[in-house]
């Protein structure tokens, strides 16, 4: 049975938390202060911790620190005051899985608990991957929204198969990260992951890159060259932006997938290959097929399983956790403590539409950290286009992640 520790000094809130969790068949221990929770921080004792931030005798941050140090596999959900953007941001930066706000919504709490436990399970599964192999893991795909939980589940399921996968989504949503995670969690993890951007090369160069060429196949081909299909043998080949591939290359790729072999340019002999194919596109391939721009038979070949990545504007609740992730990443890179994001700056980030998605957000954080004084990011440190919406008064955010209203508990 799943064991949950609840730390809450408000008796009414504590009793309701325990009632909700026990109704979902969890074994629940409850304490009325932070010190009691800290004492219970032992490796593997609990599957999940739900703790208020403000309590007597040690705060929720002390509880988080204790479990992070002593039982790092146990996710911690912190409860913050409604509208406390700074507190929510600090919770994520310090390593909390997520936060909910008081007065909390019962269904939001249940969903957050379910996500935390599912993510814990997926991370435990990926630890079986060989530690010596450089990998992109499921937890490297950052997000705690329901739509991203579905992505984690699908990645874990398809990785164990040999199915061809099509990853779709706007530019900057993290399609290559998903492709690498699929490879990491697959039986092919000890073999190469070979990425290629189909838009970066002309059709003739792409043909030579993918299939290789024989000596003398064209001017300058002074030696034979293995193609990327051969280099990815027994591993994974990632074709990024496959929707931009020309008609000739589409036909050759289809033949390769049908026959399981490649013929280098200028050669009369074919080479057998065993490659798992993952493709990505920011185009609507169904529309491209109807318009006659993409082969229908190839589309069906590469579209065995589709993983659709949401735009960042479709999951704004993930922005605080993404920001904390990027700040921590930059802190490690610069070998210093992570910068701190002011509440006003986070509100500006939440209000922005992010047409460039996660990539644009990461670049904005990178810039802000570079120009911030004393490690504190103010709105003036953010890119002008992010601040513009804030200055005009549009899209401000009063709070992050807290759903109040019916079914909530004050405190």
Is the pLDDT at 284 greater than 90, yes or no? Answer: yes
114-143 pLDDT, tens digit each: 888 887 876 776 555 444 444 556 667 888
- Better-scored residue on pLDDT, 328 or 290: 290
All structural domains of the chain: 3-126 (3.40.50.2300), 138-310 (3.40.50.300), 313-391 (1.10.8.60)
- Better-scored residue on pLDDT, 399 or 17: 17
What is the pLDDT at residue 285?
96
Percentage of the chain with pLDDT > 90? 57
Q: Tell me if residue 376 falls in helix, strand or coil.
A: strand
Burial class (CB in 10 A: 0-12, 13-18, 19+), 383: middle
Is the pLDDT at 310 greater than 70, yes or no? Answer: yes
Alpha carbon 23 to its chain's center: 31
How many angstroms separate the CA atoms of 283 and 299, rounded? 12
Phi (first) and psi of residue 407, to 5 degrees? 85, 5
Longest dimension (CA), the chain: 81
- Better-scored residue on pLDDT, 185 or 170: 170
What is the pLDDT at residue 394?
41
What is the pLDDT at residue 152?
87
The confidence band for 411, taking pLDDT boundaries of 50, 70 and 90, is very low
Residue 9: in which H helix or E strand, if any?
Answer: none
CA distances from 398 to 52, 83, 127, 172, 381 (A): 21, 6, 39, 27, 21
The mean pLDDT of the chain is 86
196-206 pLDDT, tens digit each: 999 988 887 89
33-91 pLDDT, tens digit each: 999 999 999 998 999 999 999 887 889 999 999 999 999 889 999 998 765 666 777 77
CA distances from 248 to 17, 207, 231, 254 (A): 61, 9, 22, 10
Average pLDDT (94-113) is: 84
Least confident of 122-131, 187-196, 372-381, 401-410: 401-410
How many angstroms separate the CA atoms of 200 and 226, rounded? 19
Average pLDDT (96-122) is: 83
What is the pLDDT at residue 126?
56
How many angstroms separate the CA atoms of 254 and 258, rounded? 6
Angle at 274 between CA 273 and CA 275, to 5 degrees: 105
Average pLDDT (222-226) is: 78
pTM of the shown model? 0.72
Return the top range by mean pLDDT from 72-81, 330-339, 359-368, 394-403.
359-368
- Better-scored residue on pLDDT, 395 or 121: 121
How many angstroms separate the CA atoms of 314 and 145, rounded? 10
- Better-scored residue on pLDDT, 97 or 361: 361
Average pLDDT (297-307) is: 96
Is the pLDDT at 145 greater than 90, yes or no? Answer: no
Average pLDDT (221-236) is: 87
Percentage of the chain with pLDDT > 70? 86
Phi (first) and psi of residue 194, to 5 degrees? -120, 110
What is the pLDDT at residue 204?
79
């Amino acid at each position: 049975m799943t064991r949950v520790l609840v730390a809450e000094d408000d008796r009414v809130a504590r009793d309701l938390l325990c009632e909700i969790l026990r109704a979902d068949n969890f074994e629940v221990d409850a304490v009325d202060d932070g010190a009691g929770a800290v004492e219970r921080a032992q490796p593997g004792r609990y599957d999940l911790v739900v703790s208020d931030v403000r309590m007597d005798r040690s705060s929720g941050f002390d509880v988080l620190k204790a479990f992070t140090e002593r039982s790092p596999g146990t996710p911690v959900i912190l409860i913050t005051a409604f509208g406390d953007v700074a507190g929510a941001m600090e919770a994520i930066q310090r390593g909390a899985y997520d936060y909910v706000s008081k007065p909390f919504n019962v269904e939001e709490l249940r969903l957050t608990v379910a996500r935390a436990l599912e993510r814990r399970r997926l991370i435990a599964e990926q630890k079986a991957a060989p530690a010596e192999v450089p990998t992109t893991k499921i937890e490297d795909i950052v997000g705690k929204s329901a739509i991203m939980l579905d992505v984690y589940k699908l990645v874990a399921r398809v990785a164990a198969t040999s199915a061809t996968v099509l990853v779709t989504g706007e530019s900057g949503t993290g399609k290559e990260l998903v492709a690498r995670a699929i490879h990491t969690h697959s039986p092919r993890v000890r073999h190469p992951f070979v990425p290629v951007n189909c838009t970066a090369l002309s059709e003739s160069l792409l043909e030579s890159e993918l299939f290789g060429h024989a000596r003398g196949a064209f001017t300058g081909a002074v030696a034979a060259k293995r193609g990327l299909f051969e280099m990815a043998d027994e591993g994974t080949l990632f074709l990024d932006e496959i929707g931009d591939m020309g008609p000739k290359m589409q036909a050759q790729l289809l033949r390769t997938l049908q026959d399981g072999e490649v013929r280098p340019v200028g050669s009369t002999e074919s080479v057998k290959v065993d490659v798992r194919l993952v493709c990505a596109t920011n185009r609507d391939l169904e529309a491209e097929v109807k318009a006659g721009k993409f082969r229908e038979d190839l589309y069906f070949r590469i579209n065995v399983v589709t993983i659709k990545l949401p735009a960042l504007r479709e999951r704004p609740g993930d922005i605080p956790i993404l920001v904390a992730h990027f700040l921590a990443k930059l802190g490690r890179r610069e070998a210093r403590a992570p910068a701190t994001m002011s509440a006003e700056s986070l509100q500006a980030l939440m209000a922005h539409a992010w047409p460039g998605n996660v990539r644009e957000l990461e670049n904005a954080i990178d810039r802000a950290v570079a120009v911030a004084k004393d490690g504190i990011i103010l709105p003036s440190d953010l890119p002008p286009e992010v601040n513009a919406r804030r200055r005009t008064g549009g899209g401000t955010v009063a709070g992050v992640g807290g759903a109040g209203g019916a079914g909530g508990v004050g405190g």
